[in-house]
Chains A and B, each alone.
Chain A
């Protein structure tokens, strides 16, 4: 018998992976900055191995939602459940170890370090080493280092970037830096990957390639992806469920088809039709 999981449209979707619980659930999530409510009553459910989209006009609060999910901001209200577990009290680093990884709208790589080291930093936090074996280069250090090296190259090969491993991250072209951010996030072994405008600055053919890669990541790593994107071809092309945010509130949820024909969404994006 096939299993179903809820998607942002609150309908059920055929689950590709085993397991009943959604990877992420938020209930009444909200944050105020002073008197300003930036996000309010944010309800979202993401199934395991689902690709979900978060869209909305500029300033709608999309990145704020990412910051709430990763505890860069602490929510004023509401709860976040990651794999069914409450995340109250966790800080950003703990959230990452619990399974959420993200990329940034403005690239934030460790620019002075090599491509390989950027990926390895992600890997290292999930590796067992002790400081003495590291300093004295005991066999266990070399074993771990070799494993990290192999894993790093393997991850880089997703984007065909293994040849760039020894380059300085900050010297890579823009598109490659964006891809490296995704690789670095994957290195922390997430179960939910948050992508903040992954296609920003990419041309249509690069975007098409990125869409294939996001699908491939989902299939190979069996993880869920939540992405913020302004490129509607990408969002409509790969997302199974979409949430539309405006002024910090969810104005629509649904499948790409439902969102495209939703009058509220069209109004939010294009403005109200003038009475003739």
Chain B
């Protein structure tokens, strides 16, 4: 594999194949849909947020490419049990990571395993794929039922 192939690392392929927290969340209290009209990717993110602002449960369903699904799956793993403010801060960090504006090795951040998407800015056409689940999450947190990447 060439070095540029880092987009399709084993972790991403594995999350694509066996997405975590995949399916509808029964008993959730927030949800939003995310569309990428250009490529047809479509996700729905479900949350159960407690009164004191903790993401107790998180799940997603929908269809998309490997980047989109793996990003959604890894997002749910990263945010389960997190405070809403932390999730929002991570969304900001993740967006900057996707744009190549945040170097996860030198700048302080809470991204953890999500750093794996750091090479994606070299693939401008694919940035939206990785961002879709996060946009849906943001929509769910701000009670915006549908978000579009366009």
A and B: interacting chains: no
What is the interface of chain B, defined by CB distance below 8 A to chain A? none
What is the interface of chain A, defined by CB distance below 8 A to chain B? none
